[in-house]
Amino acid sequence: MNTYVIRRRNAWKNAQELEATAGVSLRIGNDEMADQIRWIRSYVVTEDDGTLGTLCIYAAVSKEAIIEHAKRVGMPANEITPVAKTVIIRDDPATAEAA
């Protein structure tokens, strides 16, 4: 599998919508496409218009698998970019939710 960054712009009106979609995404990834795709992590961002978007890190067999996963979930995959190299300077900071 290769690593990809997926940008999902203006996809959710609020955190509740995002959480519902995340549950579907996890289920489809784990139960229906486990041999093709793995969700690693996501960074939720507030877009200029106040909606929520994400930058997601996935391992997948191909861009097509990511597109198929997004289609099954019902979420966008506006930009799919292969990761050339990972450079980690520090671990992600812990958030109140993760702690």
Domains and CATH numbers, the chain: 2-82 (3.30.70.3090)
Burial of 28 (0-12, 13-18, 19+ CB in 10 A): buried
pLDDT, tens digit, for every residue of 24-42? Answer: 999 999 999 999 999 999 9
Q: Which residues contact 77 (CB under 8 A, 6 or more apart)?
A: 6, 8, 66, 67, 69, 70
pTM, two decimals, is 0.86
Q: How far apart are the first and last CA of the chain?
A: 30
Contact 71, 60 (CB under 8 A): no
What pLDDT was estimated at residue 94?
73
